[in-house]
Structure 1
Amino acid sequence: MTQHPRVGVLALVCRDNRLLLVERGRPPNQGLWGFPGGKLEFAESLTAAAARELHEETGITAEFFELLPPLEAVSDGFHYILIPVLGRNPEGQLAAGDDARDARWLSRVDLADLPIIAAVPPLFDQALKRLSSL
């Protein structure tokens, strides 16, 4: 358990009105579905962190171009300030890796059938709205 908040990123990447989500394989939120993401490393930009985490957890690469408003998450002894980063033009072969148990392209309707992190539906809607306006 950490004694101070950590900064992390969430990679929000869309393909055909579906966003890429992963099933968390470790705490926090183990067993729940959420966006690929993780801690920001020293001297790493937010977009570079999103690209790194996306690739580590899914095998996918994308162009990250815009930050959404930050979120605060306190769970399982962890305290994160999370910055959602929008990505586009995904490429690569999807395969769960690093601390992701599974990875899938999901529609908004698909979320109803999965155990998800509470912040996922509003972020999903925000990302789709923003990406469709481009």
Structure 2
Amino acid sequence: MDKEVARIYGNKVRVRACGVCWQDDRLLMVNHASLTPTDFWAPPGGGVEFGQSIEEALKQEFVEETGLNITPLEFLFGCEYIEKPLHSIELFYAVKAYSGALKTGHDPEVQIIKDVRFLSAEEIGMIPDQELHGIFRLIDLPADLKSLRGFFRI
């Protein structure tokens, strides 16, 4: 993990809003640098600021990271990640993109976004487990995210 990531996010609980966005049978994924020594693929999302609603944060993160404007549809599931110095609570929503052009955006905090694209189940299956968000260890196929409910420790 990058020292700057640990400095900014370490030793505190961070609440994150994340979106599960589909185009046909392809899931929108963001590849972040600096979170792991290699790639780290995850659905778009980011931190919720004090006074900001989850839905506002979700919309903001999608525009910043992907260039897409979205509508949050429904809450799906939550998860908790604890690996010192990081501790995050992530709230995942089904979202629908309604405008914008897909692009590799930016993260204004610290993470470098290397790539943004809709990936098929086969493409996601070819990514090593350690390079995927922990939610993918809870399911057999990416489409299972549509019906995943509950709160999970990853």
Give me the TM-score of the superposition, normalised by structure 1: 0.83
Q: Which moved more, 1:89-98 or 1:46-55?
A: 89-98
The amino acid that maps onto 2:143 is: D
Query: Equivalent residue for 1:85?
Result: 93
Query: Equivalent residue for 1:116?
Result: 132
* Counterparts in 2 of 1:19 and 1:76: CA distance versus 1, 3 Å: farther
Identity %: 25
What does 1:3-18 correspond to in 2, within 5 Å?
3-18=11-26
In the TM superposition, structure 1's runs of 4+ consecutive aligned residues that sit over 4 Å from their partners are none
CA contact (8 A) 1:22 1:103 kept: yes
Distance 2:59 2:37 in 1: 21
Query: Equivalent residue for 2:65?
Result: 57
Q: Deviations over 1:38-92 (max 9, x none)?
A: 1101111111111111111111111112112210012462110000011014422
Give me the TM-score of the superposition, normalised by structure 2: 0.73
Query: Is 2:45 the partner of 1:37?
Result: yes
Name the larger-Rg structure: 2
* Counterparts in 2 of 1:66 and 1:125: CA distance versus 1, 3 Å: same
Unaligned runs of 5+ in 2: 1-5, 107-111, 149-154
Distance 1:44 1:29 in 2: 31
Distance 1:29 1:71 in 2: 23
Aligned residues: CA RMSD: 2.3
